[in-house]
Structure 1
Amino acid sequence: MSSASAPLRIASVNVNGVRAAFRNGMGPWLADRDVDILALQEVRAETSHLTELLGDEWDILHDAATAKGRAGVALASRRSSDKHRGAEIHRVELGAVDFDSAGRWLEADYRVGDKIITVVSTYVHSGEVGTPKQVEKYKFLDAMQERLPQLEAHSRYALVLGDLNVGHRTLDIKNWKGNVKKAGFLPEERAYFDRFIGAESDPDYNNGAGLGWVDVGRKWAGEVEGPYSWWSNRGQAFDNDTGWRIDYHLASPALAATVVNYTIDRAESYDERWSDHAPVVVDYAI
C-alpha cells in the first residue's frame, strides 16, 4: 500500500455478476490495481459471496436488489489503507416511498484525513423505449436529480459513480446516429445530464453549469471520442472499439478539483475481459 500522502484511488465497474467476473479474471486485476475504494454495480450475488471473493482485506457495504439475481450495488474499502478510516452507510433508498430503488443506490461516508468524502455506487436502469422499463428509468433519474444537490450539501467532497446507462454527448457513443431513438441516447435521457453538468452549448458546460457537478471522464479526456467503457458482446464491437461511455465519476466541484489521474482499464483483448464494462479508475489528491 502506498504512503498516506498518495492520492485516494477510487474505482468503479459494472461487474455483470461478481462471481462470473472473478471466475474470468477480476481477482488479479484487483490485486494489482492498489484501489482504496471500489464501487461495484450489477453484483447479482449475496453479501456472503462478496465477502468470500474479496477477502478479509475489505470492508464491504452491499445493497441487493429486491429480485434475486438482478442489479445490486456495493462499496468496498481496503482495511489496510491508511488514507481513509471506515465507512458509515448514509442512504440506500432513492425517490418516493413507493419507488423500488433497491440494488441501485448506495451511499457511504468515508473519513480521509480531516475531510469526509461521500461516495455513491449507482446503477441506473438500462430502459427500453415504449415499455415500463423506460418509465422506471425516468423515475430513477428524477430522483437522482433531486438528490444531487442534497449530496453536495451533505458533503463538500461528494462522488456519484457507476453505470449510469446514458451517453450524454455524441462523443460518448461511437455509433450515435444509429442510437438516437434507443434507450441510452434518447434526447430526454441526455437532458438530465444537461441539468447535472450543463448542456454542450453552455459556456460553463462541465465547469459549474447545471447543478454544478463535474463529469470527471470528459474533463480529463477533453473533446475526443470516448474513451469508451462498455462494448456490446455482439459482432466485433470490442475489437473495433465501437463502444459507449456510460460509466461515470460525477464529482462535486471541490472533489473534481483534486483529480490527478483518470484511466479506463480496457482489456488488451476480447478474451481477457472479465466484464462487458471496463473499470474506471480515478486518483483524488484530497
Structure 2
Amino acid sequence: MKIATVNVNGIREAVSRGFLDWLASQDADVVCIQNLKAKSFELDDNVLYPEGYEGYFLDAEKEGFSGVGLYCRKIPKAIMYGLGFEQCDNEGRYLQADYDRFSICSFLMPDGSDPVAKGAFMEQYQEYLNKLRRKRRDYMICGTWHVAHKTVDLANWSDNQMTPGFKPEERAWMDQVFGPIGFIDAFREVNREAHQYSWWPALDSDQPRARQEGWRLDYQVIDPNLRRHIKDAWIDTEATFSEFAPVIVEYDLEL
C-alpha cells in the first residue's frame, strides 16, 4: 500500500502546474491533500474525480482558505468530516477515511501566523490524539503539522528557534505526540538522512531547494502497531507544483 500526502497550497494553482499529471504517475492507493484554498463545488470534475480515484473534501468556511481532501482508489467504508471542535471543522482541517483495519486521515495544522490560535488548536487536538490511542483501530494521520520536530528537520535551525514551526513549545508538543501519547513518525522510522525537507519558502525560485534551505513540516503519523509494516519512505522533491513536496510511505498492507 502506498500513501502520499502533499500540501498543494491552492488546488487550482497546483493543477495548473502539473498536479494531476503527478497524481496519475504515482499509483498511490490514497493521496491526502491539504490547503485547497477553494470550495470543492468550484472545482472541475477532473479535479474532483481523477481517473481511478474517488475524491472527498472538507471545505473551510472562509473563502480561499485551508481545506483538506482525500483521493482514494478503494471506496472507504465511511468518511468522517472534522473532529467536532469549531476551529478545526470551520477551517477544514481534518478528513478521515475508514477502512477495515485502519483509518487514513488528511490533516492541516494552523501555520502559526496567529500563535494564540495555533496554541488553542494544539491543545484541543492533543486531547483528540489521546482518545485515538484508546480506540481499537489504527490511524495514519497524514498532512502538514507545521512543526519541524528536530534540528535535523530544518536548515539553519540555530537561527530559527523563535520562528513559528520551530518554537520550543511547538517542538515540546511534538515530543508529546511521539512520546507519551505514543504515535510514530513513519518517515523517520526508515529514513534517518539529513536534508529531508518537505517545504521551501519560495515557489518562484528553485534556489531554496537547490541550497537545501527547507523544513520538514509534513508527516505520516501512525499508530505503533503499524511500525512493522513500513517498507520505505521518501520525499518527492522533483514535484514542483507547490512550495511543499509530497511525502510518500509504502506499507506492506492492503486497504
Q: In structure 2, which of residues 36, 55, 60 is the aligned counterpart of residue 60 of structure 1?
A: 55
Gaps of 5+ in 2: none
Give runs of aligned pairs for residues 202-217 of structure 1, distance below 5 A: 210-217=180-187
Q: Paired residue for 2:173?
A: 192
Letter in 2 for 1:170: T
Letter in 1 for 2:240: R
Paired position in structure 2 for 1:127: 112
Matched, 1:74 2:59: no
State whether residues 117 and 155 of structure 1, in contact with CA within 8 Å, keep that contact through their aligned partners in structure 2. Answer: no
The normalised TM-score by structure 2 is 0.91
CA gap 1:273/1:19 in 2 versus in 1, 3 angstroms = same
Counterpart contact for 1:174–1:225, Cα < 8 Å: no
Residue 82 of structure 2 corresponds to: 92
> Aligned pair 1:109/2:94, yes or no?
no
* 2:251 corresponding residue in structure 1: 284
Residue from 16, 38, 42 that aligns with 1:23: 16
Distance apart, 1:153 and its partner CA: 3.0
- Structure 2: how far apart are the matches of 1:47 and 1:57? 18
Partners of 1:99 and 1:22 in 2: how far apart? 25
Q: How does 1:120-199 map to 2 (within 5 A)?
A: 120-128=105-113, 133-198=114-179
Determine if the alignment matches structure 1 residue 34 to structure 2 residue 18. Answer: no
Aligned equivalent of 1:14:
7
Deviating more after overlay: 12-21 vs 41-50? 41-50
Contact between 1:12 and 1:281, CA under 8 Å: does it hold in 2?
Answer: yes
Gaps (5+ residues) in structure 1? Answer: 1-7, 79-83, 199-209
How many angstroms does 1:94 deviate by? 4.6
Distance 2:2 2:51 in 1: 19
Tell me by how many angstroms 1:33 deviates: 0.7
Q: Tell me how far 1:159 sits from its aligned partner.
A: 0.8
From the superposition, tell whether residues 25 and 147 of structure 1 become closer, same or farther in structure 2 (CA, over 3 Å). same
Distance in structure 1 (CA, Å) of the matches to 2:217 and 2:168: 15
Q: CA deviation at 1:119?
A: 1.4
Give the paired residue count.
Answer: 249
Tell me the CA shift for residue 137 of structure 1.
0.5
Asked if structure 2 preserves the Cα contact closer than 8 Å seen for 1:230 and 1:276, the reply is yes
